Amino acid sequence: MLAQAVAELFKYKLVSSVIILACWPVHDKVLLSRELFKYGIFATFSCDPSALEQAHLHKIQGVLYIPSPTDLSYKVNPGSFCSWYKWVVVGDSVPDIFQSVRYDADVLLINQRWNNSKNFYGTTRQGISTSLNSAIYIDDLYTHPRDGVSLHSWATWTVLGGLQVLFDRNRILRRQNLKHYPIRIATPMGLYAEGWYNGTFQEYLLDMTMATRELGVRSGYISSALMIEWLNASEVLVPTMLWGTEVNNSSMVLKLRYGTSDLGGGAIRMMLERLHKLDYPMPIWPFNVGFTYLAERESSSNMFMKPFTINVWWCTLGLFIVLALAQRITAKHPVEKEGAYIAALATYLQQDASAVPEGVSGRWSFLVLSISAMLIHAYYTSAIVSALMSAGRDGLDSLRALGDSKYSIASEDYDYMRYLMFDVQTNWDDLEYLKRKKKTSSFYQDIHTGVRMLQAGQTAFHTEYNQLYPHLRTFTDDQICKLQYVDTIPEVLTWVTATKNGQWTSTFKIAGAWLHEIGLAKRWVTRLRLRPPPCRAALLAERVNIDDIAPVLIITLAGALTSIVLLATASKAEATTSPPTSASSPTAPAGDHSNYPYNTFYAYPPYSIPAPQVIYVTPTQYPPLPGPFIPTTAVDPNVKPFKSMYYPRKEIAQPFDFAFPGSMDALSPYQNYYDHYPFTQYPSPPQYPTPTPYQPSPYPPPYPYPEYPKMPLYPSVSPYQAPPQVYSPPPAPYPFPPIYHKSNEMPSPPYYL
């Protein structure tokens, strides 16, 4: 039963591997290991406590200590009592070694003596020597550095009920109350001096009128003080000369490394060499250090090309070519094809493009073109505005560029600047290049002198930006807008530090998480952190001078002159190829009837009636007509009238135009004239619609005017036969005839000379 209780305790602590410190016979070791293995616990026996040092600290390690006549506890390293080791002690009393363990030791005491003869050789042969209703009481062993060890009830275990944790909340609260135990805070003094400030160092750190000085130290010290206050401990301030370096014994890092202090009052950043020396219980301060200088406004004459990089310009050109070709391919009519490229260019330039295609594919390509042009134009204009509002921001972008510039350099005097950057050899090539070219004997200056040098415009001053911002109130708006920065330490989050694997580390981490959870840490940082002074000139659009737009003006004037030259060249070419009397109205060729029905049906209203045009024509030669025939009166006595005839016989005259003399002497009044006298057959008139108007020219037109002579009308010679009808055109092939023609297709009335 006792082995089952031990297994459940380790499972509650999330332990799967246990080291058993006991010098037992091999047979007893095998029996206990078998019992623990039944409940999923892997056990390892050892008579040497040094086996604990070989355990991996990346996972929780369980330790089962069973007192024996040969006590091994005095040989245990104190570091093995840290929170990574979960101890379970089986016995009716606390061994002497636990009287001086670490504060974060996690030790549980099973208040029962272990007996192998009962546990392994009892009546049940399964290690159960008590009844099912008996309980095993488990106590929490709490060790205070000043008050010593105390036992407190924590849980009970029974065979039927298993493990029941009753006082776990009390155990947590007990460890968050240090009972005013002193905690030492190693805090770097920085630039503090007794003659400079009328007060103690602690008063200086808490003075909010000096909140703009030593911000990394203030934030770290205040955070440490809040953690100590939450843990109900006493604060002991330990001033140090150095901050993040180890060049002498008065260093915050050294005091934390060797355990002479518990917390660090100066926030420092994580570095690889510090990870093996310090613990980082709480992040607190955004740290940023670099050079600040006044940059003159750069010339922006090429600003119309800068919004896009070269690759973007090439991509824009390729996109324009693709969309213009798509617009050309999807056009359905010659007029659309001819204007596809110009329409695409006008759309890209956000000008008027009214040539909307007719087809669905053409309109879709035009829609894609319009959206693409709109986006490109929006990106371009926004980049132009950004470039104007951030004038002078394209200054020095690296320490090497600062080394090649006209500026001298100076720096505020801090130990981390001396012993991590400027007074030691580093592996940063740009920084070494800057030091070789610019560093002088008067390199370190106080912040007031450095600000005056910065305001003069010839010096780049190195300091933490947040400490510099309050001193920029004396700068003019123009100087504030010209401020530029080159980082040596980009903005990084710094941490409150503690002793590596110290007995308070886990407690400090809980306290730091509590400060962030309730918002005190964020509120304190917001109170200390400053923002750079705003550039009021950047809130308005910058005025563009003549130098900025000079290239654009030159290109525009050159384009205008080029258009005039092209116009003159085209006029001269037209004058040499066309006669002066020829009309210049664009019409279709004489034999081109392909698009005439479409253009006629979808014609646009004319804006003006064209003037009459002179057409040179040749009269059409018609075949000669038959000679005249004198009309005579003829009566046929052999023809009898019909009964239905109610009118007397009438004399009829022979037709004058188409009489053929000698064919017959006379015609009967009752005979049909067209049976004896043939008439001239003319070709059928053209179908509707009429052909395309021919181009005026001196040579004869393809169709005569008029197209066919008017046929004469004669009265009928017989009441039973209808007179000849004049030719009427067939019905129109279209449902509705055109209302009007295009202005350039309306034939003018010919004027014959």
- Residues 566, 567, 571: CA angle, nearest 5 degrees: 115
Region 671-683: mean pLDDT is 52
Query: Token digits for 53?
Result: 């040092």
The model's confidence at residue 22, banded by pLDDT at 50, 70 and 90, is confident
Q: Over pLDDT 70: what percentage of the chain?
A: 65
Query: Token digits for 716?
Result: 């009928």
Residue 486, SS3?
A: strand
Residue 189 has pLDDT above 80, yes or no: yes
Q: If you ran DSSP here, which 8-state letter would residue 13 be given?
A: T
Give the DSSP H/E element, type plus range, for residue 431.
helix 429-438
Measuring CA to CA, which residue among 327, 383, 377, 301 is closest to residue 554?
301
Residue 691 has pLDDT above 60, yes or no: no
Q: Where are the alpha helices (DSSP H) in 293-359?
A: 310-329, 334-338, 340-348
Task: Tell me the helices (H) and strands (E) count for the chain, helix number first.
Answer: 21, 15
Q: How many CB atoms lie within 10 A of CB 116?
A: 16
187 contacts 240 by C-beta, under 8 angstroms? yes
pLDDT tens-digit map of 480-496: 888 889 999 999 999 99
Give the DSSP H/E element, type plus range, for residue 131.
none
For residue 54, give Cα distances in angstroms to 48, 385, 431.
11, 64, 43
pLDDT tens-digit map of 597-625: 444 444 445 445 555 655 655 565 555 55
408-411 and 234-240 beta bridge pairing: unpaired
- Residues 449, 450, 453: CA angle, nearest 5 degrees: 90
The model's confidence at residue 573, banded by pLDDT at 50, 70 and 90, is confident
- Please, what is the angle between helix 215-230 and helix 520-528, to 10°? 160
Gap between the Cα atoms of 273 and 262, Å rounded: 19
pLDDT tens-digit map of 435-492: 999 999 899 998 899 999 999 988 999 999 998 998 888 888 888 888 889 999 999 9
Residue 727, SS3?
A: coil
Peptide bond into 706 cis (omega under 30): yes
Region 584-595: mean pLDDT is 46
Q: What is the pLDDT of residue 112?
A: 79
Give the DSSP H/E element, type plus range, for residue 354.
none
pLDDT tens-digit map of 114-131: 766 555 544 444 444 445
Gap between the Cα atoms of 463 and 409, Å rounded: 11
pLDDT tens-digit map of 375-393: 777 777 777 766 665 555 4
- Residues 647, 653, 657: CA angle, nearest 5 degrees: 140
Residue 701 has pLDDT above 70, yes or no: no
- Residues 28, 34, 38: CA angle, nearest 5 degrees: 150
Measuring CA to CA, which residue among 587, 296, 251 is closest to residue 416?
251
Q: What is the pLDDT of residue 461?
A: 94
Q: What is the pLDDT of residue 619?
A: 60
Measuring CA to CA, which residue among 698, 695, 702 is closest to residue 748?
695
Residue carrying the six token digits 């010098």: 23
Q: Which domains does the chain have, with CATH numbers?
A: 2-175 (3.40.50.2300), 629-638+649-671 (no CATH)
Region 710-727: mean pLDDT is 52
Query: Token digits for 501?
Result: 């694997």
More confident position, 193 or 590: 193
Gap between the Cα atoms of 386 and 365, Å rounded: 32
Q: How many CB atoms lie within 10 A of CB 650?
A: 7
Gap between the Cα atoms of 319 and 312, Å rounded: 10
Indicate left, alpha or beta for 180 from its phi (over 0: left) and psi (-120 to 50: alpha).
left
Query: Token digits for 160?
Result: 């039927």
488 contacts 290 by C-beta, under 8 angstroms? yes
Q: What is the pLDDT of residue 658?
A: 44
Peptide bond into 145 cis (omega under 30): no
State the average pLDDT for the chain: 75
More confident position, 302 or 313: 313
Top-ranked range on mean pLDDT: pick from 163-172, 304-313, 366-375, 544-553: 163-172
Gap between the Cα atoms of 330 and 366, Å rounded: 9
More confident position, 344 or 119: 344
Query: Token digits for 545?
Result: 């001078």
Residue 210 has pLDDT above 60, yes or no: yes
Gap between the Cα atoms of 598 and 375, Å rounded: 37
Q: Over pLDDT 90: what percentage of the chain?
A: 21
The model's confidence at residue 96, banded by pLDDT at 50, 70 and 90, is confident
Q: If you ran DSSP here, which 8-state letter would residue 419 be given?
A: I
179 contacts 144 by C-beta, under 8 angstroms? yes
Residue 676 has pLDDT above 60, yes or no: no
CA atoms within 13 A on the CB side of 471: 22
Gap between the Cα atoms of 222 and 205, Å rounded: 8
Residue 566 has pLDDT above 70, yes or no: no
The model's confidence at residue 744, banded by pLDDT at 50, 70 and 90, is low
**Dihedral, 716, 717, 721, 723 alpha carbons, nearest 10:** -20
Region 84-107: mean pLDDT is 86
Give the DSSP H/E element, type plus range, for residue 234.
strand 234-240
Q: If you ran DSSP here, which 8-state letter would residue 88 be given?
A: E
Comparing 21-35, 190-204, 251-265, 337-351, the range with the smallest average pLDDT is 337-351
Give the DSSP H/E element, type plus range, for residue 485.
strand 483-499
Rg over CA atoms, the chain: 55
More confident position, 260 or 73: 260
More confident position, 729 or 460: 460
pLDDT tens-digit map of 262-296: 999 999 999 888 898 999 999 999 999 999 998 87
